[in-house]
Amino acid sequence: MQTSASVDYGYLRQLVFGLSQNVLDPSRDYLFDTRLTKVLRNQGMTTLDDLIHHLKVKKNPILERSIAEAMTINETSFFRDGRPFELMRTELLPKLIESRRHVRSLRFWSAACSTGQEAYSLGMLMHEHFPQLAGWNIRIEGTDICTEVVEKAQAGCYHRIEMNRGLPARFVVRYFDHVGEDWTIKPEIRNMCNFRTANLCATPLPFSRIDDRFDFIFLRNVRLYFSRESRKTLLAGIHKVLAPDGVLFLGSSEQPADPTIWTPVLAGGTCHFRPRQPS
């Protein structure tokens, strides 16, 4: 696709990197032209040149943030990649439930949750297969840097096309209400989940001030957008908020930056990671 020779795309790339740590390759500069049309319209501007000139003259944190958010890739689906959820059902959850039987509490973090399908998949999985968890304190936290996707996750309302991706038909009937063209997640699953905006590259890391550690962290398909350094820093932070017997899932093709603090475990046709404890 064509880009305009006059536009200072390097300025926009640097701005996005500074706010979200997302590294954008110059070969994809054309994405600024397509993705920032709404931002331009909201500002009453017509060209990227106008936008960049405006930002160079006067700092505008809200506008800068909306640019970084518009450049995020929010691709997701229910039960994405299948195998991690299957492994949770058959092996990981039964063991954790047994070892948490005295505290009767489980905490999950869908880090970079996008529009919420990952968090709701966890909620449906537990509701469907682990009735013994009734009365337990189950918390599924979903966070994402992008306000628009977090609002959609909070609404829990999905279009037919989103529903057709990865969701077993019986779950559609059982866990969603059909409202007009859309389906809305039922309160019993919605109430297990809490969504908010948070930047995974900010200091301190979300939840790092909370004492209760997570039992499961899903950090899938987001680190690939970060620089090597930010990936490493993020995983060191994640290590601190995960319980010593907790489990980390990354995207199917991702590896942790630092094998000295993570043990990869191959099981159920997928790989998950256990935190190594300092010896």
Ligand X SMILES: C[S@@+](CC[C@H](N)C(=O)[O-])C[C@H]1O[C@@H](n2cnc3c(N)ncnc32)[C@H](O)[C@@H]1O
Of 122 and 200, which has the nearer Cβ to ligand X? 200
- Per rule CB under 6 A, count of chain residues that contact ligand X: 23
Interface with ligand X, residue 199, by CB under 6 A:
yes
Binders in 29-48 for ligand X, by CB under 6 A: none
The minimum distance between CB 35 and ligand X, in angstroms, equals 12
Q: How far apart are CA 134 and CA 248, in angstroms?
A: 24
Interface with ligand X, residue 114, by CB under 6 A:
yes
Interface with ligand X, residue 80, by CB under 6 A:
yes
From 9, 78, 87, 118, residue interacting with ligand X (rule: CB under 6 A): 118
The minimum distance between CB 19 and ligand X, in angstroms, equals 8
Interface with ligand X, residue 220, by CB under 6 A:
yes
Which amino acid would we find at residue 250?
A: L
Binders in 230-259 for ligand X, by CB under 6 A: none
Torsional sign, CA 35, 40, 41, 45: negative
Interface with ligand X, residue 225, by CB under 6 A:
yes
Of 29 and 230, which has the nearer Cβ to ligand X? 230
Angle between helices 61-70 and 48-57 (to 10 degrees): 140
Interface with ligand X, residue 144, by CB under 6 A:
yes
From 16, 48, 51, 76, residue interacting with ligand X (rule: CB under 6 A): 76
**Residues at the site binding ligand X, with contacts judged by CB under 6 A:** 20-22, 72-76, 80, 112, 114, 118, 144-146, 149, 199-201, 220-222, 225
